[in-house]
């Protein structure tokens, strides 16, 4: 069935400044009514879902996900990746093009779209490559990719080092109104760094990755966006300097945006040394009610903490949070990057970058931003719905207005649970958050009026906040 009546939930829809208990009716895959009319207009045979005491919001969107197909299905597949997305409360994901082969031709776009239609649990949108084979040497056929249905272009996992080529890519993108998403990394200064360059990297004897390696490309992208008028999106920002550059550019009206990942506003580089990072930037414990001895910790050199860009200092973490709070950073995304166990079970230096994140993204964001009092619940939902839909020009998503796609996320913002390896729907388990006591959990995921995932676990204890 693709019709559903959700009854009694707290509906939070930032697109229409709606936050109140109400019913929601979806008919034939589209939002039909919100509020008093929903129950009255519901046909007798429509499925009903009691969501009293839960938050109901537009379907969450993650614009930065690696589904690994084609060619890397030992790490993840469209079927397993979208199952993880559904379990995390996400109705729409944008898959990155650094696959084998790269998604740089219309035929590969069509293959992914067909596979997603057959096996995907949620909506799968495709990002095409900026350059052929993501090699940074020759532009891909951007117009053909747009015609094939890509919603953005990016060489994610790589960064175009040739500034003139990046300028040409931006000029082409304006012809097709495509968002250009950039992995900001200057190879000449990052070189072979494997973690943030600072005290901890020196302590551990690991090659450092300076924050300037990101900031230089962010600055370049700002200059080129200002010159060309192209829409540029800086992916997975990690450095305080990047946030400040973005803030100043946006004040000038430059068409540039940025995203943050939960691991960058939750962890610091001290975790790689096995240090306790369960503390907020203001010195207050993240888990004031949990004895410190019972909190999980990491072994030194844990490769599940190796990511690109790396987690950085407490000051960088605080700057990312401030950027989210003041609107400088508009979007939260997971950068879900699965890898096989054998690839991560090696020395830190040679392990691949990346962690999984779809299933913990919502909880970590609630904990670090909402439960800490830094951001309202509506403000957080906006970064998962309205803002990514606007950036990608998704006219029928990100809202619960009548006529919009019937994509809905239902979650309990106060559910307390512990993330375990046995719970994941992903094919890979390279997450640093196993064993963490989390707060906030998706309960149901609805795509086009059909409930594609529901939490089968009994409700755990809930901590009331009044927020």
Alpha carbon 452 to chain centroid distance? 20
Beta strand extents in 199-288 (DSSP E only): 208-209, 232-234, 256-260
| Cα(136)–Cα(220) distance, integer angstroms | 16
Non-local CB neighbours of 58 within 8 Å, separated by 6+ positions: 13, 15, 381, 385, 386, 397, 398, 399, 400, 404, 407, 408, 409
- CA pair distance 394, 188, nearest whole angstrom: 36
Q: Which residue reads 């019937």 in tokens?
A: 406
Give the β-pairing of 30-34 and 18-27.
Answer: antiparallel
Distances (CA, A) of 357 to 34, 150, 151, 238: 31, 23, 22, 16
**Cα separation, 101 vs 330, whole angstroms:** 31
Q: Please give the Cα distance from 175 to 192 (Å, whole number).
A: 36
Q: Which residues contact 154 (CB under 8 A, 6 or more apart)?
A: 96, 97, 127, 128, 129, 130, 180, 181, 182, 183, 235
Two structure tokens written together for 450: 């059909």
C-alpha to C-alpha distance for 317 and 368, rounded to whole angstroms: 11
- Find how far residue 421's CA is from the centre of its chain: 20
Both tokens assigned to 235? 């992916």
Cα 10 from Cα 167, distance rounded (Å) = 46
Which neighbouring-strand residues pair with 30? 27, 405
Sign of the C-alpha dihedral computed for residues 167, 172, 174 and 179 taken in this order: negative
Computed over its alpha carbons, how large is the radius of gyration of the chain?
Answer: 21
- The 10 Å Cβ neighbour count of residue 450 is 16
> Is position 302 annotated as part of the catalytic site?
no
Dist CA 282 CA 354 (whole Å): 28
Dihedrals φ, ψ of 106, to 5°? Answer: -60, -35
Task: Tokens 């999980």: give the residue.
Answer: 296
Burial group, residue 118, by CB count within 10 angstroms (0-12, 13-18, 19+): exposed
DSSP letter (8 states) at residue 392: T
User: Which position among 23, 62, 316, 335 bears the catalytic label?
Assistant: 335
Which residues are annotated as catalytic? 335
């Amino acid at each position: 069935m693709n019709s559903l009546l959700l009854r009694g939930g707290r509906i939070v829809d930032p697109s229409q400044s709606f936050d109140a208990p109400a019913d929601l009716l979806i008919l034939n895959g589209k939002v039909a009514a919100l509020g008093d009319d929903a129950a009255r207009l519901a046909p007798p045979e429509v499925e009903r879902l009691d969501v009293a005491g839960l938050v109901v919001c537009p379907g969450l969107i993650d614009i930065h996900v690696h589904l690994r197909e084609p060619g890397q299905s030992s790490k993840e597949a469209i079927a397993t990746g979208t199952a993880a997305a559904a379990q995390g409360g996400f109705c729409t994901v944008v898959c990155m093009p650094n696959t084998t082969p790269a998604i740089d031709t219309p035929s590969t776009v069509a293959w992914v779209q067909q596979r997603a239609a057959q096996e995907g649990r949620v909506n799968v949108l495709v990002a095409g490559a900026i350059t052929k084979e993501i090699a940074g040497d020759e532009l891909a056929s951007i117009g053909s990719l747009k015609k094939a249905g890509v919603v953005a272009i990016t060489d994610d996992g790589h960064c175009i080092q040739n500034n003139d080529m990046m300028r040409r890519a931006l000029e082409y993108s304006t012809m097709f109104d495509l968002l250009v998403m950039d992995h900001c990394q200057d190879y000449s200064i990052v070189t072979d760094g494997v973690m943030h360059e600072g005290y901890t990297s020196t302590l551990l004897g690991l090659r450092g990755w300076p924050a300037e390696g990101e900031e230089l490309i962010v600055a370049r992208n700002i200059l080129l966006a200002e010159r060309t008028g192209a829409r540029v999106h800086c992916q997975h920002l990690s450095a305080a300097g990047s946030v400040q550059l973005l803030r100043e550019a946006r004040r000038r009206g430059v068409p540039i945006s940025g995203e943050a990942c939960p691991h960058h506003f939750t962890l610091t580089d001290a975790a790689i040394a096995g240090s306790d990072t369960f503390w907020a930037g203001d010195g207050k414990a993240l888990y004031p009610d949990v004895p410190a001895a019972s909190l999980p910790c990491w072994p030194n050199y844990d490769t599940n903490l190796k990511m690109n860009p790396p987690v950085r200092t407490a000051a960088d973490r605080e700057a990312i949070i401030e950027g989210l709070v003041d609107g400088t950073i508009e979007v939260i995304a997971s950068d879900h990057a699965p890898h096989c166990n054998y690839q991560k079970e090696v020395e830190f230096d040679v392990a691949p970058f990346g962690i999984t994140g779809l299933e913990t993204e919502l909880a970590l964001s609630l904990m670090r931003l909402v439960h800490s009092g830094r951001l309202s619940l509506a403000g957080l939902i906006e970064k998962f719905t309205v803002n990514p839909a606007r950036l990608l020009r998704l006219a029928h998503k990100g809202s619960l207005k009548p006529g919009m796609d019937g994509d809905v996320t239902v979650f309990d913002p106060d559910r307390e649970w512990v993330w375990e390896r046995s719970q994941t729907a992903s094919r890979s388990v390279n997450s640093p958050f196993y064993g963490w006591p989390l707060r906030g959990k998706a309960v149901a995921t609805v795509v086009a009026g059909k409930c594609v995932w529901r939490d089968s676990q009994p409700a755990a204890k809930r901590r009331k906040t009044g927020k």
